Amino acid sequence: MLSFQVAEPGKTALAEQEVPMPGAGEVLLKVAACALNFADLLMIKGSYQDTPPLPFTPGMEVAGTVEALGLGVDNLPLGARVACFPGRGGLAQYACVPASLCVPLPDPMPFDEAAAFQVAYGTSHLALGHRARLQPGETLLVTGAAGGVGLTAIEIGKLMGARVIASARGPEKLAIAKAAGADHLIDSDSGDLRAEVKALGGADVVYEAVGGQTFTDALRACNPEARMIPIGFAGGEVPQIPANHLLVKNITVIGLYWGGYLKFNPAALTESLAELFGWYEAGKLKPHVSHRLPLTRADEALELLRSRVSTGKVVVEPWA
């Protein structure tokens, strides 16, 4: 089989390997699609909090068909169409993944949308519902709103009854955010985020994916008792949070690492995904995939993410 390997930090190459055999509690998945995430870029650099020992195959979220069952697996039939978040290993034609993390797909859901669905929608679902307790009628500010998680935050925020302000770079990305359901748009290249959000009445919940000055401006646009959720730092700068601002305005900053639930509460992920797939099947959610590339162009796919050219999700299809 063909796989995309990281032999040393920052250096990748395609490699031929034997098809692996599933261990106890695992299934062998024929990978139809693998969606990319900023965490994959960090993992390849060796700076991610869960970077595995070298060499390894990146690719955190996949969708495909069950080809073989490991010992003790009786909940998935051969040929089942599933999505899974194994954390790595997805940039290959086959991957062994824990059966307990596999979620059956709705019949009409294509593999590319299934792969693109998990981290982005799962993150927004847990962040806005489980962690921030977003309420109907509240104002939700989403930064990096045309990215993979940003678009899902807009969709889920609207489903939860919020008014959504979307901040993104340039008219093209703002148009995508508007199509996802955003009520108000702010161009982060030319607008004054703090002033424009304040003019719209301030933010009750902030879904912040950029970091740096964007985080600072969003914090200053918060209403009293607002909740801020730092989701990522796509701008490259991890913000330093001024505790005095939190104190004066009674603001709460809430951490969320979606993948961390694999270690202490994996059921929260599978239950969340099951509900989200139900929403998808009901026509309430529509994943946005801007690029689909074959495994032989995985480096190019990663560069689309690194350069922030893509919108929504980038998907690699190992058999294309």
Does residue 169 share a domain with residue 143?
yes
Residue at which a domain ends, from 210, 237, 253: 253
Rounded Cα–Cα distance for residues 190 and 168 (Å) = 10
Mean pLDDT confidence for 176-198: 95
Percent of the chain with pLDDT over 70: 100
Is 171 part of a structural domain of the chain?
yes
Residue bearing the bigger pLDDT, 207 or 267: 207
DSSP 8-state symbol, 74: -
- The whole-number pLDDT of residue 308 equals 85
pTM of the complete model: 0.86
- The whole-number pLDDT of residue 191 equals 79
Residue at which a domain ends, from 211, 237, 253: 253
Domains in the chain: how many in total? 2
Of 50-54, 164-168, 314-318, which range is least confident? 50-54
Domain hosting residue 35, numbered range: 2-117+259-317
Residue at which a domain ends, from 204, 238, 253: 253
Rounded Cα–Cα distance for residues 25 and 91 (Å) = 21
Mean pLDDT confidence for 93-111: 93
Does residue 171 share a domain with residue 270?
no
Does residue 178 share a domain with residue 107?
no
Does residue 271 share a domain with residue 248?
no
Mean pLDDT confidence for 166-171: 95
Does residue 180 share a domain with residue 84?
no
Helical residues (DSSP H) of 180-265, grouped into ranges: 193-199, 212-220, 243-249, 261-264
Q: Six-digit token pair at 212?
A: 């740096």
Judge contact between 76 and 69, C-beta under 8 A: yes
